[in-house]
Structure 1
């Protein structure tokens, strides 16, 4: 967590954080390790794990409504996010809704999961200014594997067997690495995916780096 984020959390009276069906609030747990949040109002936000756009839109609008009462009362709200808020983050949907209704929003840069994963693997993502870096959700790997450059396949856990098959068909397994749950107690580091058992569950927070 950046010092800028720490200072903002210390200043905001209201903290919003995603909450799973089981009640876990992972982003909040991480933040509490760096900032004393006692005395703050904690607002759990629920975002279903689905690709149904109508269901997601309803959830985003409901989350925005939950925050509006605090904003209307003149209270600043800080929304916690895993990784960087500009990369495949739910906040972007709430930001669009709230800005359309006249509320001002500010984004604070975080540490993207793929940068944290590269550091954990002790390897660079790119070499030289001429090498591109391509970032896609894991389900879209087939579209980019033939393109020159390093690739980041994010949130690959659910499609892992299919993704490993695609990497193998392109001859990329031995130059691919994966970090699961980067920075968390359940972290797993796999520097060479050619030795990974495709049937082994990787979890939702799995990031694959494919080096050129």
Structure 2
């Protein structure tokens, strides 16, 4: 009987924000899978002592204090490079899914660890869709989304009454999105940071940015001028209409 793949959301960064369900499934699974953006990893592999990938995997490090027994589980490292070349990404994701399926065929249940929630801009979805298409069982285990944790860190409500919420992947263009009414949540701002800062300064909108939410080096900015041009990948911006 084939195993089950669990796309497991680990929340935004604070170990205590792991759900009870995520902890239970991670403990019960036979194998852990993690995404690796490090360009030195070219093909899927089982982690071995001396490899740097787990130290750099935020999702794995979030889980470790609450579920230390994962140290004893085999970890499948899956290349997930940050690139936009569609054909190369397709090859990489296809290879990752096939490797996952090999272990599912052995009857192993696999917990794929992913930051935040697996349904929101998650690398896990590339594997999830392929595995499901090939007839295997894949289940999404929700996690607390980064923007909900950021709102809590800001002690801020994201929407009330008829207010709209718009979640924008900023690295893919935000010019039109910033014109929308209601609350705008910008994820993966990256190179768009200068544009965002200037746009907000020219409006009456309120601005907040949470960097590394829930992590030891969390920082909160409420003035666009204070935001560094190069902020962490784990940075999230909230923009609300009005002064």
TM-score (norm 2): 0.80
Deviations 1:108-140 (A, max 9, x none): 110111111111111010122x11111011233
Aligned counterpart in structure 2 of residue 183 of structure 1, from 214, 223, 234: 214
Aligned 1:32-71 pairs, distance under 5 A: 32-35=64-67, 36-71=69-104
- Partner-residue secondary structure (3-state), 1:105: strand
Q: Is 1:9 aligned to residue 26 of structure 2? A: yes
Aligned to 2:60: 28
Counterpart residue number, 2:188: 155
1:196 is the counterpart of 2:229: no
Deviation at 1:20, TM superposition (A): 3.4
- Offset, 1:79: 0.2
Q: 1:100 to 1:197 in 2, by over 3 A?
A: closer
Q: C-alpha separation between the residues in 2 aligned to 1:198 and 1:39? A: 40
Structure whose residues are more often strand by fraction: 2
Q: Secondary structure at the match of 1:43?
A: strand
Deviation at 1:198, TM superposition (A): 4.8
State yes or no: 1:18 paired with 2:51: no
The Cα offsets for residues 23-78 of structure 1, whole Å up to 9 and x where unpaired, read as 32221111112112132111111111111211221221121122111100011111
- How many equivalent residue pairs? 207
Residue segments in structure 1 that go unaligned for 5+ positions in a row = none
* Correspondence 1:210 to 2:242: no
Q: How far apart are residue 92 of structure 1 and its match?
A: 1.1
Decide which moves more: 85-94 or 38-47: 38-47
Give the 3-state SS of the residue equivalent to 1:141 in structure 2.
coil
CA RMSD of aligned residues (A): 1.5
CA distance in 1, matches of 2:62, 2:122: 17
Corresponding residue for residue 106 of structure 2: 73
Alignment partners' CA distance in 1, 2:35 and 2:215: 17
Cα offset, 1:197, TM superposition = 4.3
Partners of 1:146 and 1:170 within 8 A in 2: no
